[in-house]
Amino acid sequence: MSKASRLYHQLSTLVTEQRNPRSQHIDTSSIAEILRIINDEDQRVAHAVRAESAYIAEAVQLIVDTFRAGGRLFYVGAGTSGRLGILDASECPPTFGTPPEMVQGIIAGGPAAVFRSQEGAEDSEADGAEALRIHGVTPQDIVCGIAASRRTPYVVGATRAARAIGCKTLFVTCNPRATFTLPVDVAICVVVGPEVIMGSTRMKSGTAQKLVLNMLTTAAMVRMGKVYENMMVDLQMSAQKLVERSRRTMMIVAGLDYVAASKVLEAADGHVKTALVMVLADVDKPEAQARLAQADGFVRRAIRGETAQPDTP
């Protein structure tokens, strides 16, 4: 069988490449009907993600273990999948105060592919493996492949290379687990069914992938002590919006007025966690910092004066 024939066979059997019987008359539908069809299909996505919750939880634990050991999370994808990985990675520093290298996105075709499609860039497994080398991926890191079809050569090549050097590996796909044959530590198979427009995986598949990536990093960061109650407390005050958000957090959680919140943040050098512990535990900055260090950065434990506890799933 020729390479082209193999590819045709692969695509013809993928759930994400099938025709959707519920949208076959979309070309003759009114605008309102088109939107209803799209929305009806989108409502299936959240349920499909929930069905993979157990596997997502396993993946989160591996990510947390990696972070605690000083490793990094790398997303690898092509097209929409690659852009979603870059998007999720780029949002971690301002949201959770993480260093930019802690979560990184790699896309087939490089930075240019973020803004303009580089379709042929996804066809080489060797290029995917080489991308890991260029980014300095080590056995201490964890690599998450993202490909709606599962078959994208660039992503497969990167995932195989990651496993070969000893990395933990994850994979997010939108085809059934029964057809998933790539050896990884955790596969997340969110089966959203055929797309509204056949093969347009930027739609339901992209939405599903975005939801999963949100869950992976958000849950991991919560387990890393980046959140107090449901508030972002490790954000970086790098923009006026984030400065005001920090003040508002102090006002809501600690019951301070605007001026008092500003003063305590200034005394804490702009570090929201330190400011919270200072106020809620009624201690000075050095003591608050010592408590946070002892509690591995968890504000609730630091307020109580508790030490770090073993992580539990």
What 3-state class would DSSP assign to 225? coil
Catalytic residue status for 195 = no
- Sheet strands side by side (includes 186-189): 103-107, 73-77, 142-146, 168-173, 186-189
Structure tokens, 106: 């790699």
Q: Around Cβ 139, how many Cβ atoms within 10 Å? A: 11
Give CA–CA dist 184/92, Å, rounded: 24
The number of C-alpha atoms within 13 Å of 274 and in the hemisphere containing its C-beta is: 16
Catalytic residue status for 91 = yes
- Let me know: does 155 contact 145? Beta carbons within 8 Å: yes
- Let me know: does 136 contact 123? Beta carbons within 8 Å: no
Which of these is catalytic: 91, 125, 130, 287? 91
Which of 52, 50, 21 has its CA nearest to residue 196? Answer: 21
Which of these is catalytic: 41, 52, 122, 195? 122
**Which residues are catalytic, by number?**
91, 122
